[in-house]
Structure 1
Amino acid sequence: MEIAPFDLERWFAEVEHDADIMLAESGVRPLEASRFDTDPGELGYVIPTAGDPDFRADVGALHERTVEETIFTCGTQEANLLAFLALVDSHAVVVTPTYGSLTALPESFAEVTTVPLAEPDWTLDSDAVADAILPDTDVVVINNPNNPTGRYHDEAAMRAVYDVCADNGTYLLCDEVYRLLAEEPQPPVASFGRYGVSTAGVSKSFGLAGLRFGWLCGPPAVVSAAENWKDYTTISPPAFGQHVARQAFDRRDELLSENRELAAEHRAIVADFLADHGLGWSAPDCGVNAFIEVPDGFAGGESFCRSVVKEESVVLAPGEAFNQPEWFRIGYGLPRAELETGLARLDAFLARHA
């Protein structure tokens, strides 16, 4: 088994530590630990290792799934890995651009066909997905709301894709880690029916990335297979992560309201900045990410981002990490002062290179 380097994470590992401003962070600014009870008691394994049954039942209910159809993981990343281990054998279809692991992981197991979102609006074309599905396609993979574009594919398009999958006996796996940042979240894919699988966690929408806490909801056979694989990965979710995530989940109306307001305000700030500079973008409608066109005069996203981090100590994400070299990703979920400082430095950079 071989897996490609995770280009986005390798880029961050290279430049993030020494930079002043991280303007490519994909989540909402971290919440203070002081807002929660941080004493979980003994730091042993979580028992049962699938996660606290009462908490799993509550998370599952939001996906119209039972406690047996819900498993807790070490972040959404592990949830996705377990889903692929459980599902992928022959062929997968992945809608792109997307978070790198959603392509690289299935490519390490099987053949993968990618289906691009339709530009310029980055819309989901259910007919294109249908055309890519083969008789032996195990799973179709969609990240909704989308990272890196920030676009939220509408329910009609998602259900159209699900119907095609179900007719073929193919699972639809949706990474929904940004879903709860929507003012009116769409129904999760796990609620669509037998072939729907949802993964998510508290890293992005809740601003609690450090907890490394996520979940997978889906049909019993998929969850059972994922649990079997989890015995060989992390065994159980983190005790500390589950302890704080339970509190955040119980207070989700309060916390999500704060984060939605922050995301909306910061989205407007970035929109005004780009309009002033005449730069096109993906016009995000959910989450805290956006794709921005690389300005003239640069060979591509990496060239642009390397110049920005060298001259202004501001980290952006090159589009090459998403196989889109004419774009770069910005993250606007960071604290307001950092966002404003980062944009001011980007403004100075663009002025010098006009």
Structure 2
Amino acid sequence: MKIAEFGIENWLNQWEKSAKYDISQSTIKSMSVAELLKVNGDNEQALTEQLLNTQMNYGWIEGSPEFKQLVSQMYHHVKPNQVLQTNGATGANYLALYSMIEPGDHVISEYPSYQQLYDIPRSLGADVDLWRIHESDHWRPDIDELKKLIRPNTKMICLNNANNPTGTLLDYEFMQQVVDIAASVGAYVLVDEVYLPLDHPEAFTSIIDMYDRGIVTNSLSKSFSFPGVRIGWVIANDEVTDIFRKYRDYTMICGGVWNDILAVYILQHQDQVLAHNQKLVLHDLEIFKNWVDQEPRVSVILPQAVSTSCIKLDIPESTESFCLRLLKETGVLLVPGERFDLPGYARLGYCTDETTLKTGLKKLSAFLRQFD
């Protein structure tokens, strides 16, 4: 089995720890456990005692009953037994694709998007067609192009909603068209839903609530600000979930006892966490908008209050070399668009602390003045 280098992960593995002003990430500013307790207004004693006194065995293999119940309640038509805990959404995507895709299967993947969604199927021997997004249509793919790509034997359509790196959200009406096309040939629709639009989160409809052959992956890493917990989940119908169980035994035993306890605690307080993050995202998005309006060498299709954006840079060099020089000379980190097959663009994560964001944007503007 051969697989392409994971472009964005390779870049971040090399450079993120050397950044002084990291405005590359797609996570809403990560929290410490102390910050989480402050957001929730809780005393640390109960959580600390639970962590210290729980036996460090394998714990609940699929995730604790509390975890599965709390996740299922985030959806309209999901039972706890359909929820499987994973090692982040990365582990959820891998499990779903590893379980379902075989050599010769036809897969349609949104492109560019999270690289797992097209390069893992390729590595498994699938015939992958890329369903391209278009800047001219606010980074949405064209539904008519999907109609041309679909085949009688299409096994799966893979989407990232909202999209990484552009932040574009596919609304309910658009997703219903995708479901109708998939249903016409019996294809599955896998959607990585880690980016929740926090301007109107209540209006978002998950694929699992739209389609019996929908598969949803998600985690606590992005909208919930806890990538360090490394807890995600995958949900599908009962039949597919049982398939996942078999393959999961080969890829993951459990999520970790402490990780599960923290995940349950975060989900028990998700209303407070999301309200806190909504305020941060909307505040930082306004700062970002104002900066773009005043920066002549940057343009952007603004995201819908999700934590990632894709800026277009008007510069006479490759964005990869520019981003590397930017980091080494100013300490500001972006992800060059080449890592998403989008040369001329860069991922800018605006949902960090205000000081880092403002300083990073100011230094980026100053660095861009060399081309004036």
Work out whether the TM-score is over 0.5.
yes
Q: Which residue is 2:106 aligned to?
A: 91
Q: 1:100 aligns with which of 97, 100, 115?
A: 115
Residue 216 of structure 2 aligns to a residue in which SS? strand
Residue 93 of structure 1 aligns to a residue in which SS? strand
Q: Which residue is 2:16 aligned to?
A: 16
Q: Which residue is 2:68 aligned to?
A: 56
Deviation at residue 303 of structure 1 after TM alignment = 2.1
Q: Which residue is 2:44 aligned to?
A: none
* Aligned CA distance change for structure 1 residues 25 and 283 (closer, same or farther; 3 Å): same
Q: Which residue is 2:189 aligned to?
A: 172
CA distance in 2, matches of 1:114, 1:192: 23
Q: How does 1:181-260 map to 2 (within 5 A)?
A: 181-184=198-201, 185-260=203-278
Q: How does 1:246-325 map to 2 (within 5 A)?
A: 246-278=264-296, 279-298=298-317, 300-325=318-343
Q: Is the 8 A contact 2:28 2:307 kept in 1?
A: yes
Q: 2:133 aligns with which of 111, 114, 117?
A: 117
Aligned-pair Cα RMSD in Å = 1.5
CA distance in 1, matches of 2:232, 2:13: 23
Q: Is the 8 A contact 1:91 1:111 kept in 2?
A: yes
Give deviations 1:25-66, integer Å, cap 9, x for gaps. 11011112123425431222122x111123213312322211
Deviation at residue 262 of structure 1 after TM alignment = 0.8
* Residue type at the aligned position of 1:33: V
List runs of 5+ in structure 1 lacking aligned partners: none
Give deviations 1:235-275, integer Å, cap 9, x for gaps. 11222221111111111111101111111111111111111
CA distance in 2, matches of 1:257, 1:32: 17
Runs of 4+ in 1 over 6 A off after TM superposition: none
Residue 70 of structure 2 aligns to a residue in which SS? helix
Q: Which residue is 1:160 aligned to?
A: 177
CA distance in 2, matches of 1:167, 1:179: 28
CA distance in 2, matches of 1:123, 1:7: 22
Which structure has greater helix proportion? 2
Q: Which residue is 1:6 aligned to?
A: 6
Higher deviation after alignment, 34-43 or 114-123: 34-43
Residue 181 of structure 1 aligns to a residue in which SS? coil
Give deviations 1:212-241, integer Å, cap 9, x for gaps. 000011111221122211111121122222
Residue 215 of structure 1 aligns to a residue in which SS? strand
Q: Which residue is 1:75 aligned to?
A: 88
Q: Is the 8 A contact 1:93 1:133 kept in 2?
A: yes
Q: Which residue is 1:127 aligned to?
A: 144
Q: Is the 8 A contact 2:66 2:264 kept in 1?
A: no
Deviation at residue 79 of structure 1 after TM alignment = 0.4
Deviation at residue 301 of structure 1 after TM alignment = 1.9
Q: Is the 8 A contact 1:151 1:286 kept in 2?
A: no
Residue 78 of structure 2 aligns to a residue in which SS? coil
Residue 179 of structure 1 aligns to a residue in which SS? coil
CA distance in 1, matches of 2:157, 2:313: 30
Q: Is the 8 A contact 1:73 1:216 kept in 2?
A: yes
* Aligned CA distance change for structure 1 residues 201 and 69 (closer, same or farther; 3 Å): same
Higher deviation after alignment, 96-105 or 35-44: 35-44
* Residue type at the aligned position of 1:60: S
Q: Which residue is 1:137 aligned to?
A: 154
Give deviations 1:146-188, integer Å, cap 9, x for gaps. 1101111111001110111112110001000012635234111
Give deviations 1:93-125, integer Å, cap 9, x for gaps. 111121122221111111111111122211232
* Residue type at the aligned position of 2:117: L
Q: Is the 8 A contact 2:107 2:156 kept in 1?
A: yes
Q: Which residue is 1:333 aligned to?
A: 351
Higher deviation after alignment, 1-10 or 234-243: 234-243
List runs of 5+ in structure 2 lacking aligned partners: 38-46
Residue 16 of structure 1 aligns to a residue in which SS? helix
CA distance in 2, matches of 1:123, 1:180: 16
Identity of aligned residues (%): 29
Q: Is the 8 A contact 2:86 2:92 kept in 1?
A: yes
CA distance in 1, matches of 2:286, 2:100: 40
CA distance in 2, matches of 1:62, 1:294: 38
CA distance in 1, matches of 2:233, 2:272: 21
Residue 97 of structure 2 aligns to a residue in which SS? helix
Residue 12 of structure 2 aligns to a residue in which SS? helix
